[in-house]
Chain A
Amino acid sequence: MNVRALDDHLKEMVLALHAAVNRAIPHINDDPALVDQALRDCAEILDVVLDGNVAEWLGSEGPA
């Protein structure tokens, strides 16, 4: 398995989660629609991570 590619992909996912949370937190009281969207986007990423389909994540760089 291409561990480096997997490592990079998971880092990208975590950074995206981090960015979504950072975007939403300042707006908890003033923009519920933005917060809801960020939560949905986080859930979408987490669902894919939990599915664990590494070959799909990495495309042609899937498990070898």
Chain B
Amino acid sequence: MNIVVCAKIVPLASVTIQIDPATTRIVRKDVSQELDPQAAKAVEEALRLAERRGGSVTVVVMGGEDATVGIRSALAMGATAAVHLSDPALAGSDALGTSKALAAAIKKAPFDLVLCATESSDSYTGLVPGQLAQLLGIPPLTFATALTVDGNVVTIKRQSEGGYDTVSAELPALVTVTTGINEPRYPTLKGIMGAKKKEIRKYTAADLGLGPGEVGASGARERVLTVGRPPARPPGRTVRDEGDGGRQIADFLAGLKLV
């Protein structure tokens, strides 16, 4: 079974993300980065499937040269190989451009299952998996909290307001995993050293047959018009309990039609 995981390398969780006001893009240069914790869950799920059923796990990442450390983390967890889409021509791609590049890279080798995080931890658009499934011509099974493969059928549990929806599709398919699906393993020393021998294939936009009208800033149809901080929250109301605190709170909530 050939499993592909689309992963993103994001600023470390401890880093306060900065936006370049000129480009409205996240500042990534000289910022320590890691494998997106959400993507790590997709890697973990892929590794568990491969351990049960055999097969390979290939991690596909689009990002600059700084992405290498995060890619190696996925390899150190146990992924078989990695594909790194790294090219200045890809910089500034919108979600659709990213999906086109990922789809072109995935199509270069046979695959059965594509796993993605539901959304990335830095930009949170959540657009790529659906677009990717469309471009690959495969069904997307989204928001998986559990995942099984039986024969040629993948089945997920999707949490809903009333419980779980069970959704199945024939392979090949794409599945997006949610935060609660697993607790990812961490790279061990053996994994880190072993990862150095694993292959990271590199592709440029030209290798993928993509031109400036399709990817990169020039191909982007999505525009971020402004980026700003949310308005300051108004101060809260303090209730002093002088015997009627409970009533004051009840009246306050009733005024908001909450009780």
- Check: B183 CB closer than 8 A to any chain A CB: yes
Q: Indicate if the CB atoms of A12 and B186 lie closer than 8 Å.
A: no
- Check: B58 CB closer than 8 A to any chain A CB: no
Which residues of chain B are near A45, meaning CB under 8 Å?
A: 188-189, 192
Given the contacts A15-B34, A16-B76, A59-B196, A44 and B69 also touching, CB distance less than 8 Å: no
The listed residue (A16, A22, A26, A38) touching B192 by CB distance below 8 A is A16
Q: Indicate if the CB atoms of B186 and A23 lie closer than 8 Å.
A: yes
The listed residue (B73, B184, B188, B189) touching A15 by CB distance below 8 A is B73
Closest A residue to B192 by CB, please name it.
Answer: A12
Which residues of chain A are near B32, meaning CB under 8 Å?
A: 11
- Check: A20 CB closer than 8 A to any chain B CB: yes
Given the contacts A12-B72, A15-B34, A59-B196, A23 and B189 also touching, CB distance less than 8 Å: no
Once the chains are docked, how many angstroms separate the CA of A59 from the CA of B188? 17
Q: Indicate if the CB atoms of B186 and A41 lie closer than 8 Å.
A: yes
Which size bracket describes the interface of B in this complex? 10 to 19
Given the contacts A11-B32, A59-B196, A16 and B69 also touching, CB distance less than 8 Å: no
Q: Indicate if the CB atoms of B68 and A16 lie closer than 8 Å.
A: no
Smallest CB separation, B50 vs chain A (Å): 20
- Check: B219 CB closer than 8 A to any chain A CB: no
How many residues of A are counted as interface, with CB atoms below 8 angstroms from the partner's CB atoms?
17
> Secondary structure of the A side of the interface?
helix
Q: Indicate if the CB atoms of B196 and A15 lie closer than 8 Å.
A: no
Q: Indicate if the CB atoms of B188 and A12 lie closer than 8 Å.
A: no
Q: Which of A11, A13, A45 has the most CB of B within 10 A?
A: A11
Q: 1/0 per residue A8-19: CB within 8 Å of B?
A: 100111011001
Q: Indicate if the CB atoms of B187 and A19 lie closer than 8 Å.
A: yes
Given the contacts A8-B68, A12-B72, A23 and B192 also touching, CB distance less than 8 Å: no
Which residues of chain B are near A38, meaning CB under 8 Å?
A: 186
Q: Indicate if the CB atoms of B186 and A19 lie closer than 8 Å.
A: yes
- Check: A55 CB closer than 8 A to any chain B CB: no
Q: Indicate if the CB atoms of B185 and A23 lie closer than 8 Å.
A: yes
Which residues of chain A are near B188, meaning CB under 8 Å?
A: 16, 41, 44-45
Which residues of chain A are near B196, meaning CB under 8 Å?
A: 59
Closest A residue to B70 by CB, please name it.
Answer: A15
Once the chains are docked, how many angstroms separate the CA of A18 from the CA of B188? 11
Which residues of chain B are near A13, meaning CB under 8 Å?
A: 192
- Check: A48 CB closer than 8 A to any chain B CB: yes
The listed residue (A12, A22, A23) touching B69 by CB distance below 8 A is A12
Closest B residue to A17 by CB, please name it.
Answer: B186
Q: 1/0 per residue B160-201: CB within 8 Å of A?
A: 000000000000000000000001111111011001100000
Closest 5 CB pairs of A and B: A19-B186, A16-B187, A20-B186, A11-B69, A44-B189
Instruction: List, sorted by A's number, 10 A–B pairs whose CB atoms are closer than 8 Å.
Output: A8-B68, A8-B69, A12-B195, A13-B192, A15-B69, A15-B187, A16-B187, A19-B40, A23-B186, A26-B183
